[in-house]
Amino acid sequence: MERACGPPERVGPVNDTDSEPIRPVRPLIPVEAAIDPAHAEPLGPAALIAAARRGDRDAFGRLVEPELATALGACQVLTRSHADAADAVQDALLSAWRGLDSLRDPLAFRAWFRRHVVRAAIRITKRRPRVVELAMDLPAPAGELERTVERRLLARGFDRLSADDRVLLTLRHLWDLPVAEAAALLAIPQGTVKSRTSAAMERLRAAYDAETRR
Amino acid sequence: MTDRPDPAPQDPLEDELRRLLHDRATVEPAALDGVRATYGRLPPRRRAPLALLARAAAVLVGLGIGVVALAQLPAGPATPPTTPRLQEPSAFEGDPRRALCDSPFAIYAFELPRLADFRAYYQGEGFPTDDVPALIVVWDGRTAFDRMGREFVLPPGHYNACIVAGSPGDPAAWRRIDVSDADLTALLPGPGLIGDPARYADDPRFARCAGPQAEVLGAFEMQHARDYRLHVPAMGRSPELEVDDPAFVVIYRGRNPLSRPGVWPDPLSDPARRDVCVLVGADVAAATLNVYPGVDITGLVATLPDSSGSAPAPSTASSPAVTGTPGPATPEPAPAWTGDLAGQLDCDGPVRTIGGETGDVTEELIGPTPADLAEYLTRTNFDALPGRLELAEHEAHWVRYVHLHDDRLKTVVIATDTSPRSLGPWAIVGLRSCDPAEYDPEVGLAGVYHGVWHDAAGNPVPTELIHEITGAGHCGWDSATLMRYEGIQFIRDPEGVLADMQVAPYLADTDLPETAVDTGLRDGERHLWRSSDGRYVFVVTSDHVEGWPRAVRDFGCT
């Protein structure tokens, strides 16, 4: 059975005395930071938030770590730029760090942090104008994500949507958020989420059709 | 309790969209590591009052008070910020931090003992500062590369500052940010950046520029006067300097002694502008004296080849070292298709006033390859270009991009790498276009412009009548949308960033007044109505009405 947190697992060979496990070189998160040395048990979100509010960066890191890959992935979708996505997540981390006092319910941390992420991504996306597309016989970039022609056409159609449309479709179809959660995250009525999502999907369908006719 | 989405009928397009989004959301471990590094660099959550004072001082400096003023202010409990010494990027060769910021466009670099001091040069939020040292590498040119080799482009007037927090032995967080000309001007010129005027104290050329009577920022030589825009890239084109003769340059700190009082503007009113003397000719006595008031010296990157030696003799001194890659010295003749751009177009209405014929356009650097035109045009002042351009001609040093609708030419763009200004090296030198209403409606518009509106009959309406743009990000207006309808500005301002510019509040969700009048204009599902008193336009959809107030006056962001 996997353990999400606990004393360091042994990694790699052990030393001669077999008294201490050897840690991986430069772990992504310091092993010490993943463990509360006083209790050797994972801290709950309330305790982590309390520690983070006192200025404990490690505690904050442990809070956001489970959300980090999801946040960065969504920002990649929304900003259409890996560099901007990294900027957006860093902005979200900073604004969340500064705004910890406004978080009332520790159990709502994930939704609260995601709000920071989406807002940061929207802010960067709207700051960046839409990209001109050049028709050139250039080799496809390394790491091409679209595996089929249809996928590429759909991707182009998605890229032509407004930032607001992309946000809604990302929340619904990448994060799989229910309408109620998407509405709470965007601070708009649930009915508006439904109608705008439907309209965004129709615009995507139209853009996709336009691409296939091109 | 479930966390799953509401059940919905299966839709193949939705399924494909879901797969596409998950593909695009795939995260590279290196990118994740870069973001994780933010944890340890977050600022203290509780700030000391002195730190707040330092922050306020930094903002003042960012507003143009100047680095010198900052150094005189209390700067918090740590050591006060010091003016960094600008150096060639090569000075940090071997420094792992430099490698993280490697770019062919790196123009100079400097170290800060405390990363927090960077706020003196950057007003933006979002960078977790700390008491760690840092290396900052500034990239010129519109195009640069991040550490993963991806290209990105900056708007005109902006540079990239690549910041590496940490010591050379422990580079940690990495980030790039945009900095404006004005921010960089605060850094220019630093000690040793340009020629020490003392080196030329006895030089007759210095005397002809009235150097001994002036407060001089710096002086340097050019092997050829025509290189002037390689040294002062923002300087306007000056035909009298387009000659092979050697030249000597003096940049005054204050008003130049050769000016007539009251005629020229005070150079000190704009920290980016200085009076400049350029003496052209090998014979000092016969050399032509040119004095230029208020030259934009942003990007000045001339350095002395030997900062420790004595003053070089005029006849033997070498030219200042200049970063960047100068373009070809002798441009080749332009192909015939670079001429008469307006005549090439097939417009129903008038040719737009944007851009100009080849050679008439203020050259805009776009990057190392013609393909960089793509992203450049998204950020340029050449507004409302089509969202798709086709490469029509490509010779060794020239390219011609076009936009066609129904086989009729609507937009033509000429770029070349033979521009004398090109550090870049490709630059746009010509651009003419029909009104966006004549573009292929399938391609949309590039840049900050939103789509074309249509009349009640479905015909596209010229942007002269109505258009929308996203507010300028560098003025903090990117959450707003500005609509110009029949010559009047209206504002969509959900975050209130332009509240002072509106005759009435923005209405995010309102009812359409009975007295409102349908303009007949349509943009997809959006219909445009206007209030009877002219204070609002209403953007109406099937389930929503927004009221966009009129602006109190025309305004823009420079």
Highest mean pLDDT among A159-173, B128-142, B176-190, B266-280: A159-173
Q: What is the pLDDT of residues B344-372, one digit of tens each?
A: 999 988 888 777 777 666 555 565 667 76
Q: What is the pLDDT of residues B489-534, one digit of tens each?
A: 899 999 888 887 889 999 999 999 999 999 999 998 899 999 998 8
User: What local confidence, expressed as pLDDT, does residue A41 receive?
Assistant: 40
Mean pLDDT of chain B: 69
Report cis status (omega within 30 of 0) of the bond before A106: no
User: What local confidence, expressed as pLDDT, does residue B272 receive?
Assistant: 64
Contact A86/B127 with Cβ under 8 angstroms? no
CB distance B31–A82 less than 8 Å?
yes
Q: How far apart are CA B78 and CA B83, in angstroms?
A: 15
Per-residue pLDDT at A190 exceeds 60: yes
Q: Tell me if chain B has a CB within 8 Å of the CB of A50.
A: no
CB distance A97–B42 less than 8 Å?
yes
For tokens 């301002």, name the residue: B493
Residue B164, number of CB atoms within 10 A of its CB: 27
Intra-chain end-to-end CA distance of chain B, in Å? 52
User: What local confidence, expressed as pLDDT, does residue A18 receive?
Assistant: 31
Does residue B517 come out as left (phi exceeding 0), alpha (psi in the -120 to 50 range) or beta? Answer: beta
User: What local confidence, expressed as pLDDT, does residue B374 receive?
Assistant: 60
User: What local confidence, expressed as pLDDT, does residue B421 receive?
Assistant: 43
Q: Which chain B residues contact residue A83 at CB under 8 A?
A: 146, 148, 150, 152, 176
Contact B307/B192 with Cβ under 8 angstroms? yes
Torsion of CA A145, A148, A152, A158, to 10 degrees: -80
User: What local confidence, expressed as pLDDT, does residue B331 receive?
Assistant: 39
Predicted confidence band at A82 (pLDDT cuts at 50, 70, 90)? confident
Contact B550/B488 with Cβ under 8 angstroms? yes
Phi, psi angles (nearest 5°) of residue B218:
-175, 165
Predicted confidence band at B172 (pLDDT cuts at 50, 70, 90)? low
Mean pLDDT across the stretch A126-132? Answer: 49
Highest mean pLDDT among A87-101, B111-125, B353-367: A87-101
Predicted confidence band at B537 (pLDDT cuts at 50, 70, 90)? very high
Per-residue pLDDT at A181 exceeds 70: yes
User: What local confidence, expressed as pLDDT, does residue B379 receive?
Assistant: 52
CA dist list (Å): B187 to B79, B135, B248, B256: 19, 14, 23, 22
Q: How far apart are CA B134 and CA B120, in angstroms?
A: 14
Q: What is the pLDDT of residues B453-495, one digit of tens each?
A: 999 898 889 888 898 888 766 566 778 898 989 888 899 999 8
CB distance B4–A176 less than 8 Å?
yes
Residue B350 to chain A, least CA–CA distance (Å): 24
User: What local confidence, expressed as pLDDT, does residue B515 receive?
Assistant: 93
Mean pLDDT across the stretch B63-74? Answer: 23
Highest mean pLDDT among A132-141, B76-85, B231-240, B486-495: B486-495
User: What local confidence, expressed as pLDDT, does residue B70 receive?
Assistant: 21
User: What local confidence, expressed as pLDDT, does residue B345 receive?
Assistant: 92
Per-residue pLDDT at B120 exceeds 50: yes
CB distance B16–A151 less than 8 Å?
yes
Least confidently predicted of B35-39, B371-375, B532-536: B371-375
The token pair that represents A58 in the structure block = 């490690």
Probe site for chain A from B2, B3, B21 (most A CB atoms < 10 A):
B21
Mean pLDDT of chain A: 69
Residue A19 to chain B, least CA–CA distance (Å): 30
Please state, for a pLDDT cut of 70, what percent of chain B lies above it. Answer: 58
Q: Which chain B residues contact residue A160 at CB under 8 A?
A: 387, 444
Least confidently predicted of A133-147, B32-46, B95-109: A133-147
Q: For residue B108, what are the β-bridge partners? A: B138
Predicted confidence band at B446 (pLDDT cuts at 50, 70, 90)? confident
User: What local confidence, expressed as pLDDT, does residue B159 receive?
Assistant: 63
User: What local confidence, expressed as pLDDT, does residue A103 receive?
Assistant: 78
Residue A17 to chain B, least CA–CA distance (Å): 31
- Better pLDDT: B265 or B16: B16
Q: How far apart are CA A85 and CA B486, in angstroms?
A: 38
The token pair that represents A190 in the structure block = 């649930």
Least confidently predicted of A73-82, A138-147, B47-56, B493-502: B47-56
Probe site for chain B from A91, A134, A150 (most B CB atoms < 10 A):
A134
Residue B160, number of CB atoms within 10 A of its CB: 26
Mean pLDDT across the stretch B423-438? Answer: 77
Residue A42 to chain B, least CA–CA distance (Å): 19
User: What local confidence, expressed as pLDDT, does residue B545 receive?
Assistant: 93
Highest mean pLDDT among A125-129, A162-166, B264-268: A162-166
At B470 the three-state DSSP class reads strand
